[in-house]
Chain A
Amino acid sequence: MMEPFEMTVAQSLLALREKEISARELIRSYVKRITEVEPAIRGFISLLPEEMILAQAEKVDKLLASGQPVHPLAGIPFALKDNMCTRTLATTCASRMLKDYIPPYDAHVTEMLDEAGGILLGKANMDEFAMGSSTENSAFHVTRNPWDQNCVPGGSSGGSAALVAAREVAFALGSDTGGSIRQPAALCGVVGLKPTYGLVSRYGLVAFASSLDQIGPLTRTVEDSARVLEAIAGHDPRDSTSAARKRESYSKFIGREVKGFKIGVPREFFEQGIAPGVKDVVLDAIARCAGTLGIEVDDVSMPHSPYALSAYYIVATAEASSNLARYDGVQYGFRAPNSDNLLDLYHETRSQGFGQEVKRRVMLGTYSLSSGYYDAYYLKALKVRTLIQRDFTEAFQEYDFILTPTSPTVAFQIHEKIDDPLTMYLNDVYTTPANLAGVPAISLPCGFSDQKPVGLQVIGRPFDEGRLLQFSHALEAVLDIQGKRPLL
């Protein structure tokens, strides 16, 4: 028989409802799995005590036995990226600055998953303050890619992606500012969805770049992505950018017909330093899907996409420099000891509390906002953002979806890129356009290059997550790589 931890979210829910397994058995299977593989993977920053987790599972079992209607994710174990506030566990952002910080409130997504009956197991490792593409910027430890432990899991939601790939959790949440859900999903061979900007509340998500940040699920399948998304999406007045829309069922789109969908494949996304192996796998995947599904595929141009990365690194760092000004050692978090005066306290706290990459981005952002450079950098980037958004609007007049590679390379070696910031930033070359335009995008595993997973990115129209998941589910069925798992 299949080990319980091998089941997807959808399979687990069914098994629980059919009483083939109890929530306690399901959770125990995950706890055992974590004991076995976590020493090698190190995807977690913190774990809740086993008694607390099992007590939650027992509550679910009682509810199931009572015959009352159960919550949509009742009994399903998950992890949160450690930039989402939890009152029960420190929320560190993988930074010395917040190492012992216990928030006085839960994030909106923490509340929503709790209400849905999900069982939080722990908090996932990440690049410090979500800045990075390899999770090597964590102040605590490196996370390893389950497919090749000498390689990074991607980032910044690398812990979330590795935990899902290693079957240590049934799903995880990540946050995506320039690709931080999709790129690690691609490198770890799982499904990662960045919803439309505003679909999921950012209340209680520690801010990096507020006009770009969005929370989304990392899962093993597209159907699971739909299940988790419908549990966390919806209007929240505590986030002023949260979209005032009615809640929707996304899982009802799974399995619907996709024949006749029109797909654009922008040629600019197969340039800019793509590894030949990745290009071949993605093009082959698109060709196979086109033939099998009866969809129309056209070569298109999105002429401003090669400028997205540059615009992104100005906008994101400018917003970060402003958002991270709050870490001053006064109200919460780390404070440097022995400061003589307040100004000294600010300087010492920030210099000792932030790591190299965070300092680099805060300074870059400060530079582009500083007197004399604002027009040359920040304002220019905002105008380019308009052009990138326009490229998408035009493409979506003709096409239902855009297909591209998620990342120009497969997982790379630990230490390979960490000393060269620009090379690291180039990981985000295909993912940043969707953030700048605010449109939803998902990464699906579509094959292997050099025995490592390759991600296919599907980009959709704003708030069209239902059809995006419907189409992605059809692609997943054709690509059929679910049978392959990392050997752990």
Chain B
Amino acid sequence: MKITVKDVEHVAALARLNLSDQEKKIYTGQFNVILEHIDRLNQLDLEGVEPTTYVQHLQNVFRSDREISSEKALLRAIMQASPDREDGLFKVPPVME
């Protein structure tokens, strides 16, 4: 499967990235080289093989949530790390026109 500039544009949009025309061209070429290498996986017979997402077989690992509304110093540190804020809330530009 050959990747085209159109595919790269589609993927960039999904990943919320803007690319220049120059970047689109470079990435298209590089993705084709990388995917050609990756396509060697097609040499394997994978019939009946189960997929592995995690090597450990863990199920339903729970822990309690911790209430932090009284931890003023922590809340302050969290808000201070934000790019824009007002009244203890994160501030963003308009979502809709």
The CA of A325 and the CA of B1, in the complex, are separated in Å by 27
A241 touches B50 (CB 8 A): no
A307 touches B40 (CB 8 A): yes
Known contacts A329-B83, A364-B31, A386-B50; decide if A342 and B16 are in contact (CB<8 Å): no
A363 touches B54 (CB 8 A): no
Distance between A48 CB and nearest chain B CB, rounded to angstroms: 18
Contacts of A311 in B (CB 8 A): 41
The proximity string for B residues 46-86 relative to A, scoring 1 for CB distances below 8 Å and 0 otherwise, is 10011111111010010100000000001001101111100
Chain B CB within 10 A, most for which of A309, A311, A342, A351: A351
Known contacts A384-B46, A386-B50, A422-B37; decide if A211 and B55 are in contact (CB<8 Å): yes
Q: Kindly identify which residue among B11, B33, B46, B90 contacts A330, using a CB–CB cutoff of 8 Å.
A: B90
Chief secondary structure at chain B's binding surface: loop
B51 touches A379 (CB 8 A): yes
The proximity string for A residues 293-309 relative to B, scoring 1 for CB distances below 8 Å and 0 otherwise, is 00000000000101101
Contacts of A347 in B (CB 8 A): 16-18
| Chain B interface size, under 10 / 10 to 19 / 20 to 34 / 35 or more | 35 or more
Contacts of B50 in A (CB 8 A): 383, 386
A310 touches B92 (CB 8 A): no
> Which residues of A385-435 are within 8 A (CB) of B?
385-387, 389, 421-422, 425
Q: Would you call A461 an interface residue if the criterion is a C-beta within 8 Å of the partner chain's C-beta atoms?
A: no
Chain A CB within 10 A, most for which of B40, B49, B80: B49
The CA of A238 and the CA of B7, in the complex, are separated in Å by 39
Distance between A33 CB and nearest chain B CB, rounded to angstroms: 33
Contacts of A237 in B (CB 8 A): 63
The CA of A334 and the CA of B43, in the complex, are separated in Å by 43
Q: Kindly identify which residue among A307, A329, A362, A385 contacts B15, using a CB–CB cutoff of 8 Å.
A: A362
Known contacts A342-B93, A438-B56; decide if A382 and B51 are in contact (CB<8 Å): yes
A342 touches B95 (CB 8 A): yes
The CA of A348 and the CA of B39, in the complex, are separated in Å by 33
**Which residue on chain B has the smallest CB distance to residue A438?**
B55
Q: How many A-B residue pairs have CB under 8 A?
A: 158
Contacts of A112 in B (CB 8 A): none
Q: Kindly identify which residue among A101, A313, A382 contacts B81, using a CB–CB cutoff of 8 Å.
A: A101
Contacts of B1 in A (CB 8 A): 376
The CA of A363 and the CA of B24, in the complex, are separated in Å by 11
A104 touches B56 (CB 8 A): no
A350 touches B49 (CB 8 A): no
Q: Kindly identify which residue among B37, B41, B74 contacts A381, using a CB–CB cutoff of 8 Å.
A: B41
Distance between B84 CB and nearest chain A CB, rounded to angstroms: 7
Contacts of A366 in B (CB 8 A): 11, 14-15
Chain A CB within 10 A, most for which of B15, B39, B44, B90: B15
User: Would you give 8 A-B contacts (Cβ < 8 Å), ordered by A?
Assistant: A237-B63, A333-B83, A359-B17, A359-B27, A370-B11, A376-B1, A421-B30, A422-B33
Given contacts A102-B80, A329-B83, A370-B10, 8 further A-B contacts (CB under 8 A): A211-B53, A310-B41, A325-B16, A332-B83, A333-B83, A376-B1, A382-B51, A421-B33
- Measured CB to CB, the residues of B under 8 A from A are 1, 3, 7-8, 10-12, 14-19, 27, 30-31, 33-34, 37-41, 43-44, 46, 49-56, 58, 61, 63, 74, 77-78, 80-84, 90, 92-97
